[in-house]
Amino acid sequence: AKRQGRGCVRVFDESMDESIRFRRQIETGLSEAIAKGELKLVFQPIVGRDLDITGFEALIRWCSPEYGMVPPAMFIPIAEESQLIHELGDWVIDEAIVALKTWPGQYVSVNFSPRQFRRQNFVAHVVERVTSAGVDPGRFQIEITETAIFDNVERAAEILFKLRQMGFRIALDDFGTGYSSLYNIRRFALDCLKIDRSFVDGMGRERESAAIVHSVIHLGRALGMEVVAEGVETDTQLQALRLAGCSHMQGYFLSRPIDAEDAQMLAERGTLL
């Protein structure tokens, strides 16, 4: 857009015009999607070394009759830029709890975007939703990224401390891709580190990735944290991670994200074996 004097903006780039229109369409569609029942959650198992199921990560899906399957990487950032993310996030919490209640003991791991995390009264809000549903906070894991922490470290520390005091599990997602990773580990009360899948992917090819994965596993263990390797796609990766002493794994090789019904069956069985 080009400025033409005060407050007047002329859009001259057609592709930009297109992308703005697209965004608006997604925004409008998304705000109706909840009411129309077009959103659903799928669940990807997180397994221990013996392939026992310890938890499931909840992942949102939007099946739009108009646009088809819209990936979350496309609509979450758009929701993030408006108030929509709060409505969406609350829907996710509630749905995750519904699923959780059908499982014998596993936890659900729920993604929170930076904007949700920065919401006023975030702690009170989450506590109220989870406890009023009669769910043990120890079975509810909050996944945040380092981006959520980054712009106000003091406030983040306070929030995470309170949540942990209430018994919630806290996971640091995409670990290794953000800023000041080691600082965050030292500063915050965390239960779980999720090693970003780019490192797992690189493990077999680059010495650097393999070294980082090994270090994070040792660090997590030394600090009493659970370490989840994300994006395990091959048996070779699985074996290498086991050998490195990794306690938990998640990825397509183990299981794709599955619907609530299948997750319930798997949870009851308790293992991928």
Contact residues: ligand C2E, CB under 6 A: 44, 58-60, 71-73, 76, 92, 111-113, 173-174, 197, 231-233, 251-252, 257
Q: CB–CB of 146/182 below 8 Å?
A: no
199's contact among Ca ion, ligand C2E, none, with CB below 5 to 8 A by partner kind, is none
Look at the block and give the residue holding tokens 């819209």.
70
| Closer residue to ligand C2E in complex, CB, 73/273 | 73
What is the smallest separation between the CB atom of 42 and ligand C2E, expressed in angstroms? 7
What is the smallest separation between the CB atom of 230 and Ca ion, expressed in angstroms? 5
| Closer residue to ligand C2E in complex, CB, 191/233 | 233
What is the smallest separation between the CB atom of 175 and ligand C2E, expressed in angstroms? 10
What is the smallest separation between the CB atom of 226 and ligand C2E, expressed in angstroms? 16
Token pair for residue 115? 């904007």
Q: DSSP states of 65-92 as a string?
A: TTTEEE-HHHHHHHHHTSTHHHHHHHHH
| Closer residue to Ca ion in complex, CB, 103/175 | 175
Footprint on this chain of Ca ion (rule: CB under 5 A): 111, 143, 173-174, 230
| Closer residue to ligand C2E in complex, CB, 170/232 | 232
Task: Tell me the longest C-alpha to C-alpha distance in the chain.
Answer: 67
Residue among 110, 41, 48, 42 at smallest CA distance from 272? 48
| Closer residue to ligand C2E in complex, CB, 127/173 | 173
Residue among 79, 82, 63 at smallest CA distance from 71? 63
105's contact among ligand C2E, Ca ion, none, with CB below 5 to 8 A by partner kind, is none
What is the smallest separation between the CB atom of 34 and ligand C2E, expressed in angstroms? 12
Distance CA 202, CA 210 (A): 7
Token pair for residue 202? 């690189």
What is the smallest separation between the CB atom of 247 and ligand C2E, expressed in angstroms? 17
168's contact among ligand C2E, Ca ion, none, with CB below 5 to 8 A by partner kind, is none
233's contact among ligand C2E, Ca ion, none, with CB below 5 to 8 A by partner kind, is ligand C2E
Strands 107-111 and 53-64: parallel
C-alpha of 57 from chain center: 7
Distance CA 269, CA 273 (A): 9
